[in-house]
Amino acid sequence: MVRRIHIAIVEPSVIIRNGIVSVLKRLNLDIDIVEISDMPQLQSLLEKHNPDVVIIDPTQIGMISLQHIKENLSGSKKFIALQSNLADASALKGYDEFISLYDSAEQIKAKVESIISENKQDDSDKQELSQREKEIVSCIVKGLTNKQIAEVLHLSVHTVMTHRRNISGKLQIHSSAGLAIYAIVNKLVSLDEIKGLKNI
């Protein structure tokens, strides 16, 4: 399932933290933001929130190395260094991207977008449905099971499931009742065809 990218902003200063949050929010990116201000709890909070991207000032990490933080986290995460002042090159090792306090909104957007797009599995979301996908939607709202859809359309069950995942991703509709509304207003099925069916 396509999910929104979670970005953790690690920054004890409320002024800087709120500044980054407000810039990121105005960039219109498809992201969720979690704020972490409590440096001693950094490790446990990162484990708890499990963000995809972490924005952190390298000079704030202090004695703990980035390498150490990474080793204790599951999955691959991207780290963006927030540079508020000059830091030794060795402190910047291991970061995937660098944002300066003096970057413009456009520069920040470009940097965050490039990091996010590496994280996304595919770019198929937010597009129109293909003809095949529309056929599958109409089968789903008529109440057919994956197996039945596979038989009707001569596909494998696995392919049907992949299509369903892509449909959810493109439309951001995750329930069959929601798909039914989509199918009716887009005239993929008529009301009679789905009337009397349960589960819709």
Contact footprint for other proteins (CB under 8 A):
14, 18, 35-38, 41, 172-175, 177-178, 180-182, 184-186, 190-191, 194, 200
Q: Provide the residue type at 5 as one letter.
A: I
- Of 29 and 157, the one with the shorter C-beta distance to other proteins is 29
In the complex, minimum distance from the CB of residue 82 to other proteins, in angstroms, rounded to a whole number: 17
Angle between helices 146-153 and 157-171 (to 10 degrees): 110
In the complex, minimum distance from the CB of residue 89 to other proteins, in angstroms, rounded to a whole number: 32
In the complex, minimum distance from the CB of residue 119 to other proteins, in angstroms, rounded to a whole number: 21
DSSP 8-state assignment for residue 8: E
| CA pair distance 116, 83, nearest whole angstrom | 19
- Of 104 and 190, the one with the shorter C-beta distance to other proteins is 190
| CA pair distance 9, 55, nearest whole angstrom | 5
- Of 153 and 189, the one with the shorter C-beta distance to other proteins is 189
- Of 35 and 96, the one with the shorter C-beta distance to other proteins is 35
DSSP 8-state assignment for residue 39: G
Query: From the CA atom positions of the chain, what is the Rg in Å?
Result: 22
In the complex, minimum distance from the CB of residue 32 to other proteins, in angstroms, rounded to a whole number: 12
User: At 178, phi and psi to the nearest 5?
Assistant: -65, -40
User: At 89, phi and psi to the nearest 5?
Assistant: -55, -35
- Of 53 and 155, the one with the shorter C-beta distance to other proteins is 53
Q: Tokens 């090792």 map to which residue?
A: 93
In the complex, minimum distance from the CB of residue 129 to other proteins, in angstroms, rounded to a whole number: 12
